[in-house]
Amino acid sequence: FRTIKLNLFKTQVTFQKQVGLSAEAKSRGWG
C-alpha cells in the first residue's frame, strides 16, 4: 500500500512538471 502511494505521488509530480513545462512553452510561443 505504501509503495503504491509513493508511486502515485511520483507519477503526479512528474505529470505536474510536464504540464507546467508545456504551459510555459505555450506562453513563450514554443509549442
The pLDDT of residue 19: 92
Encoded amino acid at 20, one letter: G
Task: Please report, as a single letter, which amino acid is at residue 1.
Answer: F
Task: Supply the pLDDT for residue 30.
Answer: 66
Return the pLDDT at 31: 52
Q: Total domain count for the chain?
A: 1
Tell me what percent of the chain is helix, strand and coil, each rounded to the nearest 5.
Answer: 85, 0, 15
Domain holding 8, by residue range, is 1-31
| pLDDT tens-place string over residues 1-31 | 789 999 999 999 999 999 999 998 888 886 5
